[in-house]
Amino acid sequence: MKSKTPLITLLTGAALGVILLIASTLTTSKAPASGSGGGPGTASTAPAASGGATAAPTNPGSTTAAPTIPGCTQATASATSLSSVRHSPVGLGGRPFAVRVTPDRKFSFVTLGNSLAVLSNRAGQAPGVVHTLKVPGANKGEAITGDGKYLLLATGGGAKVLSVPEAERGNAVVLGTLDSPGGRGAVQVTTSPDDQFAFVTLQGSGGVAVFNLRQALAGGFASGFVGLVPTGKQPVGIAVSADRAHRWLYVTGWGPPGTISVVSMHLAETDPQKALLTRRPRAAGCQPSRVMTSADGSVVWVTAQGSNALLAFSAARLRTDPAHALTALVPVGQNPIGETFINGSKRIVVANSDSSPPSLMVIDTQKALCRPGKAALVGSIPTGRGPRELDPGDGTTLLATSLGSGQLEAVSISDLPAASGGTLPPGQCGNSG
Amino acid sequence: MTAQPGTSAPLPPGRAASGAAKFVVPSLIGALVALTLGVYGHLHHPTGIAISIAGFSSPGSVKSWLATAAIVFALVQVGSALVMYGKVPRIAAPSWIGGLHRWSGRIAFLLAVPVAVHCLYALGFQDYSSRVLIHSLLGCAFFGAFTIKMLILPKRDLPGWMLPTVGALVFTALTGVWLSSAYWFFSTFGIKR
């Protein structure tokens, strides 16, 4: 009996390996959550679109037709004006592009072109400008590390790294610059959940630059560039999957053709050249701009600027069945770019960057998935010209940059009509936000 | 890694050839295991993810800690083997040393399995740097060598040097795997990510 124990050990290990392999296969092949599908969808139609933008019912598994990837269109949707919603403009000057609120919610930073506005937040009120710092190249996206210590400003072939506490005190202390060899056209920047890595979309270089932020900080920025994830033409938007494991990075390619790419976070950090999971670009409408994911990571929301639409993709199907990944299409205003969740993810706000009159559009998240089309539109909020990027702030005041009018708009979220979360059977269309 | 002293005593000269012959089949099977793992890792398109273990900040962290635990148990294996073979002066082998040796080996092996599954399924056989290539080769070699050791353990008429040699190869491969992965991971990203 004793002589058989080595064989038993070997077979036990082999069995464990097979079980783990099967479990891994199941993990990667099934949807991470049922959030993007399940319930019966009802047909609806998008505005007549020159590029064939037809919206339709949305739920995978429903008996009705799935929505098709929209083309480019001039058609826009309109919604009830939510004129009762209080919104206060804060004059900043310059060309406000991105806005980010610090993790402690006390300050907001807005990129203005070659300067950075530092604003002090006040609960329920518009933030006030406390400093305007001269920072050459601060004209694109930004990110603040989770520990609130560092502000990353996308610029050139990477990002400038500033000290947040110093910026709050009015000092523009640039700790260093993350730079990629030959990289250009930085648009958006984000960090890994542990703040170890930074990812920058390089619109001019066809990829996402990966930087070891901690290593760069520790080594005086002498090193830190890990590599470039070759995502394809004109990458602009980027988001880390909000699921617990933060396994994925989603990147929109402005195109043409407009695409969305799925990147393995783990491979991006270790072997960027091989981190692209979507070997062929996945179509994502006309000029997809910004991307964000639901809290459980199951739904990926994309603003398709040239399609005048908000698109919802099943995260799992983007990897496994991309032809059927689009689960919902909501027609919105002209040239939607910025997007964010509010009201505990029950609502999505989209910045219609070229609408007339300029507006933010509010969308009911659950309706967008269950009854897509105009039915999901809650209303529109007037704003300054050229609304661009959004930050949900402290949950009571939404912040929106207005690039054309040099303003930051502070919108009172509590003035919005009550969310209609209970009108649909719970769970029928899943957890969308 | 379940060496049992006393089962590999020196053989009469006439039986050495027979013992060596008995080593060939396990060796071929072990080579096949290593080759299969390498081919699978090369052909399978890496998914970037595999089944995850809660409580760790990243897959790299999980694997590094599991591999470190495996190397600790492997060190116990080596230490207990030296005691069993009387190679440690002034320390007599206690009665429980055999059990310690066997169980530390089993645990080390079972800890290494999830790491290997993640490597092969999520990342595949990679060669984009010397470190990674060495890691990929040693990872496959470890499981091949371990298979050989498990298959020759029950055989009674092998040369006395064979089992310790194979055991040393297994330990060397595992150490190389750990140095090229977990050690690199901790020294690059820090112990606490």
pLDDT in tens, A219-256: 899 889 999 999 988 999 999 998 766 679 999 998 77
CA angle A274, A277, A279 (to 5 degrees): 90
Residue B140: is its pLDDT beyond 70?
A: yes
pLDDT at res. B102: 93
Q: Which residues contact B125 (CB under 8 A, 6 or more apart)?
A: B38, B41, B42, B136, B140
- What is the distance, to the nearest Å, from the Cα of residue A162 to the centroid of all Cα atoms in its chain? 22
Contact check, Cβ <8 Å, A7/B154: yes
The reply to whether A273 falls in a domain is yes
Q: Which of A 265-324 lie inside 8 A of B, CB atoms?
A: 265-267, 269-271, 273-275, 277
Task: Find out whether A346 and A370 touch, Cβ atoms under 8 Å.
Answer: no
**Smallest CA–CA separation between A24 and chain B, in Å?**
5
Residue A30 lies in a domain: no
Q: Which helix (H) or strand (E) holds B61?
A: helix B59-84
Q: Is the pLDDT of residue A40 over 50?
A: no
Residues 26-85 of A with CB under 8 A from B: 27-28
- At residue A259, the pLDDT reads 93
Task: Report the range of poorest mean pLDDT among A136-140, B33-37, B41-45.
Answer: B41-45
β A125-134/A115-122 pair status: antiparallel
**Inter-chain contact B110–A17, Cβ cutoff 8 Å?**
no
Q: Does the pLDDT of residue A150 top 50, yes or no?
A: yes
B150 neighbourhood in chain A, CB within 8 Å: 6-7, 9-10
On whether the CB atoms of residues A242 and A293 are closer than 8 A, the answer is yes
- B101 near A CB under 8 A: no
B147 and A10 within 8 Å at the Cβ level: the answer is yes
Q: Which residues contact B126 (CB under 8 A, 6 or more apart)?
A: A271, A274, B132, B133, B136
Task: Give the pLDDT confidence score for residue A317 in this predicted structure.
Answer: 86
Q: What mean pLDDT value characterizes chain B?
A: 83
- Does residue A393 belong to any structural domain of this protein? yes
CB pairs under 8 A between A and B: 101
User: Between chains, do B48 and A266 touch, taking CB under 8 Å as contact?
Assistant: yes
CA distances from A187 to A156, A207, A296 (A): 9, 11, 26
Contact in structure between A208 and A235 (CB atoms under 8 Å): yes
Residue B52 pLDDT: 61
Q: What pLDDT does B42 receive?
A: 85
Q: Which of A47-56, A82-91, B105-114 has the highest mean pLDDT?
A: B105-114
Cβ of A20 under 8 Å from any chain B Cβ? yes
Whether residue A76 lies inside any domain: the answer is yes
Say if A216 falls within a structural domain: yes
Indicate the pTM of the whole model.
Answer: 0.64
pLDDT in tens, A328-381: 999 999 899 999 999 889 999 999 998 888 899 999 998 898 876 778 899 999
* A73 contacts A333 by C-beta, under 8 angstroms: no
d(CA A336, CA A350): 6
Three-state secondary-structure class, residue A26: helix
pLDDT of residue A408: 95
Domain count for chain A, please give it.
Answer: 1
- pLDDT value at position A282? 83
DSSP string over A33-77: -GGG--SPP----PPP-TT--------TT-SSPPP----------
Q: What are phi and psi of B86, to 5 degrees?
A: 70, 25
Q: Chain A within 8 Å of B123 (Cβ-Cβ)? A: yes
Q: Cβ of B27: how many Cβ atoms within 10 Å?
A: 17
- In percent, how much of chain A has pLDDT > 70? 85
Which tens digits make up the pLDDT trace of B41-88? 888 766 656 666 655 556 677 888 999 999 999 999 999 999 998 999
**Average pLDDT score over residue span B9-21:** 55
Q: Is the pLDDT of residue A399 over 60?
A: yes
- Indicate if the pLDDT at residue A43 is higher than 50: no
Mean per-residue pLDDT of chain A: 84
- Tell me, what CATH number does A73's domain have? 2.130.10.10
Q: What angle do CA A121, A125, A131 make, to 5 degrees?
A: 35
Task: Note the pLDDT of residue A431.
Answer: 45
Distance CA A209, CA A297 (A): 23
A22 touches chain B (CB under 8 A): no
What range defines the domain where residue A181 resides? 35-415
Decide: A211 and A223 in contact? Cβ < 8 Å.
Answer: no
Tell me what percent of the residues of chain A surpass a pLDDT of 90: 53
Instruction: Decide if pLDDT at A4 tops 70.
Output: yes
B46 touches chain A (CB under 8 A): yes
pLDDT tier, B30 (very low <50, low <70, confident <90, very high otherwise): very high
Asked if A160 has any chain B CB less than 8 Å from its own CB, the reply is no
Per-residue tokens: A94:
């310059």
Q: Is the pLDDT of residue A52 over 70?
A: no
Beta-carbon contacts of residue B10 (< 8 Å; ≥ 6 apart): B159, B160
Write down the pLDDT at residue A364: 93
Phi, psi of A303, rounded to the nearest 5 degrees: -90, 120
Q: How many angstroms separate the CA atoms of A43 and A328, rounded?
A: 11
Give yes or no for a contact between A127 and A139, defined as CB atoms under 8 angstroms apart.
no
Q: Is residue A259 part of a domain?
A: yes
Cβ-Cβ contacts under 8 Å for A154 (sequence gap 6 or more): A140, A141, A142, A186, A187, A188, A189, A200, A201
- pLDDT tens track for A245-303: 667 999 999 877 889 999 998 889 988 998 988 767 788 998 899 999 998 888 999 99
Residue pair B166/B149 in contact (Cβ under 8 Å)? The answer is: yes
CA distance B99 to B115: 25
